[in-house]
Amino acid sequence: MENKNEYLLALLDKLGSPLAIEDFRAIVDVLLGKSELFLGLEDLRDKLLFSIREKIYDYVKTGTLVDNSFINLWQLYKNANLPKKEELDNFIYLFEKQYRLYCYDEKEKFIFLHLTFIFKILNGDVDNSLRWFLGEHIYFHGQKYHEMDNQTQALKDFFSKISLSFDTLSEAISAALQRYFEVSKEERLGVVTWILGLYWNYGDFENHPLWKSKIYGVLLKLFEKCTLEEHIEEKMSLHFLMSHIYLNRAQTQEEFALFNEEVEQNATVFYEKWALQHPLTQAKKHSGAKHKIALLKDRIVENSPFKVEFSLLHVLLSEKEFVDKYEVYVYSMALIEKSLDDQKCIEKLEKLGVVVRQVAFESLNLYGYFQSHFTRALAIYDDMQKESIDTAILATNNFPIGSFLFAARCAPKQIFWSHGNFAYDIKGIDKRISHFHRENPYTYERFDVSILDEFHKPEEEKHKAMAKEIRKRWSEDIVVLGSIGRLVKMDNDEYISTIAQILKENPNTIYLACGSGHEESIKQKLVKYDVPMDRFFFEGFVNAHVYGYVIDVYLNTFPEPSGEAVGEFLKKGEDKFVVSLEA
């Protein structure tokens, strides 16, 4: 204790003498890295923090700006007990005013925000200033996000150091969104970019339940207030963000139906009205030799929907009768917010004879991070009219581009192809089809698709060898149970309690949860149902072709089943079994 006391007194003495900003920063870094020095020495801590505050005030007053790293002082000042400094309140007022009015350079505006936050911390407004600081970041210009990578990485480091909770973040975002219509259009359109780019991708915040329970409702109210035709960009931007937040946690058809009622119905009425008020070329049946069919996809990547669609097209386009009568197009919506199109998948489609259209991607502003859903939708719509598309098949759902295209009537005949969401019901659907067979309130034309072996068993021997190595983690008499896919589908009490019962009654079994997201929520349920953690393993995002050979029995998720993953698993061999459970 005596040594700590002497050390801190020496630092206090240094702070009382003239210091170059570099030497001052070095002292601050020492204190930030050794906060345990203050234990039992709170009075001395406050004297040091008082001196640091005075030093920063003097630097700024004489024209020396402190850099963004000083936001980390929040860790030291959160428990400080200092009197307010009136002169700092004046600084805060001036900096915040300058921040609000500044519109020339986003990086400089960023600096004003950080300086204001630093002074608020120094003057004791710790908790409120943190929420304000977090909330303000959603309003930076979306086009400038890519230019600020270093700053956003520094912010994520700050979040880690202060152990930022999602409760605090959700309060900050919810409060900041209250002034959504008070900011410029560019700032409104930046909301999606900054929320997904900065906050969604931080730590374990991806798919956190509070996105849906606390933030979705606030976004929905803003979405409903976008009623003017000039709000089309904001409407589609919020539509995409809500789809991302809500549907990443949705498990049931009832949840899909609620999203359809709250968002899709509202959106497509707006999109239809916009299309009627603007001179879009009306879709007409053309008199060409072949009937043109366009498959509309969010992006072209080798995911489960692609494997189903490609397998079906492979069969159809090998039939001369079909080829003589039909021409097939595939349009990518270029949702680069999720991922880029896969060139190998595009080449596979083209080898089949499919015409792949990437006009949405060609419409993007590749020098910016924010991308317009509206611009992409119009690019696809116009190209479909130019190509005289007869039938459009929407092979995705709940994205604004697809909903806009159907509401605006992009083709004479419009078909929705469900890959699992049977509650999607928007303006412009003439017919519904699906390769799934399940009860729902709408009329679907059913068909079966046999997935090509090239998707089920690529590099079969290599994957079997990799699976054999993984199986060495357990003894040979162990039966490996598991499931593959988004963990949201297993994150419910009914499924986890059933797994608990199976493991209890079968001591020679283990369970592998193969997928990402929701880990903490599932762990809480595992504790609740007394599932031993040495028999339940989170494998993370896995190669399904490898783990299809690792797992012996696939325990299908419920109430929302696993989808194409089950079929892929069964193709791994005759010794593979799927058990479909019921609540």
Q: What is the DSSP string of 201-219?
A: TSTT-TT-HHIIIIIHHHH
Residue 1 pLDDT class (50, 70, 90 cuts): very low
Q: What is the pLDDT of residue 156?
A: 84
Which of 185 and 2 is assigned the larger pLDDT? Answer: 185
User: Number of C-alpha atoms within 13 angstroms, CB side, residue 442?
Assistant: 20
Helix (H) or strand (E) holding 34: none
Q: What percent of the chain has pLDDT over 70?
A: 93
Residues 449, 311 contacting (CB under 8 angstroms)? yes
Q: What is the pLDDT of residue 95?
A: 82
Residues 200, 206 contacting (CB under 8 angstroms)? yes
Residues 357, 385 contacting (CB under 8 angstroms)? no
pLDDT at residue 144 greater than cutoff 80: no
Q: Is 313 helix (H, G, I), strand (E, B) or coil?
A: helix
pLDDT at residue 534 greater than cutoff 50: yes
First to last CA, the chain: 60
Range 532-561 average pLDDT:
87
Q: What is the pLDDT of residue 332?
A: 97
Range 130-152 average pLDDT:
73
Q: Is 304 helix (H, G, I), strand (E, B) or coil?
A: helix
What lies within 8 Å, CB to CB, of 302 at 6+ separation is: 342, 344, 345, 455
CA 362, 310, 342, 562 dihedral sign is positive
Which of 348 and 187 is assigned the larger pLDDT? Answer: 348
- Which whole-number Å values give the CA distances from 445 to 178, 260, 428, 438, 467, in the listed order? 45, 21, 17, 12, 39
Q: Is 437 helix (H, G, I), strand (E, B) or coil?
A: coil
Q: What is the pLDDT of residue 359?
A: 97
- Taking only the tens place, the pLDDT of each residue in 343-355 is 999 999 999 999 9
Q: What is the pLDDT of residue 500?
A: 93
pTM, entire model: 0.83
Q: What is the mean pLDDT of the chain?
A: 87
pLDDT at residue 10 greater than cutoff 50: yes
pLDDT at residue 537 greater than cutoff 50: yes
pLDDT at residue 93 greater than cutoff 60: yes
Measured CA to CA, the distance from residue 43 to residue 45 in angstroms comes to 5
- Taking only the tens place, the pLDDT of each residue in 146-185 is 555 566 777 888 888 888 999 999 999 999 999 999 988 8
Q: Is 294 helix (H, G, I), strand (E, B) or coil?
A: strand
Quickly tell me which residue has 């190509």 as its tokens. 387
All structural domains of the chain, each given as residue ranges with its CATH number in brackets, are 51-273 (no CATH), 291-453 (3.40.50.11380), 458-580 (3.40.50.2000)
Range 515-542 average pLDDT:
88
Q: What is the pLDDT of residue 575?
A: 66
Q: What is the pLDDT of residue 460?
A: 76
Residues in the chain: 583
Range 410-427 average pLDDT:
94
Count of beta carbons in the 10 Å neighbourhood of residue 278:
11
pLDDT at residue 368 greater than cutoff 80: no
Q: What is the pLDDT of residue 113?
A: 86
Q: What is the pLDDT of residue 104?
A: 64
Q: What is the pLDDT of residue 147?
A: 55
Q: What is the pLDDT of residue 289?
A: 83
- Taking only the tens place, the pLDDT of each residue in 221-280 is 999 999 998 999 999 999 999 999 998 878 788 899 999 999 999 999 999 999 999 888
Measured CA to CA, the distance from residue 469 to residue 476 in angstroms comes to 12
Structure-block tokens of residue 31: 């204190």
Taking CB atoms within 8 Å and a gap of at least 24, the contacts of 502-506 are 502/555, 503/531, 503/532, 503/535, 503/536, 506/479
Range 564-582 average pLDDT:
69
What lies within 8 Å, CB to CB, of 278 at 6+ separation is: none
pLDDT at residue 142 greater than cutoff 70: no
pLDDT at residue 88 greater than cutoff 90: no
User: Number of C-alpha atoms within 13 angstroms, CB side, residue 284?
Assistant: 7
Q: What is the pLDDT of residue 583?
A: 47
Quickly tell me which residue has 């798919």 as its tokens. 207
Q: What is the pLDDT of residue 544?
A: 84
Q: What are phi and psi of 543, to 5 degrees?
A: -80, 110
Quickly tell me which residue has 């933030």 as its tokens. 215
Count of beta carbons in the 10 Å neighbourhood of residue 73:
23
pLDDT at residue 384 greater than cutoff 90: yes
Range 6-32 average pLDDT:
86
Range 28-44 average pLDDT:
79
Q: Is 505 helix (H, G, I), strand (E, B) or coil?
A: helix
Which of 231 and 114 is assigned the larger pLDDT? Answer: 231
Residue 141 pLDDT class (50, 70, 90 cuts): low
Measured CA to CA, the distance from residue 419 to residue 403 in angstroms comes to 16
Which of 449 and 569 is assigned the larger pLDDT? Answer: 449
* Radius of gyration in angstroms for the set of CA atoms belonging to the chain, rounded to a whole number: 28
Range with the poorest average pLDDT among 132-136, 264-268, 308-312, 558-562: 558-562
Range 305-327 average pLDDT:
94
Q: What is the pLDDT of residue 16?
A: 84
Q: What percent of the chain has pLDDT over 90?
A: 42
What single letter denotes the amino acid at residue 316? L
Taking CB atoms within 8 Å and a gap of at least 24, the contacts of 313-322 are 313/349, 313/352, 313/354, 314/352, 314/452, 315/450, 317/352, 317/353, 317/354
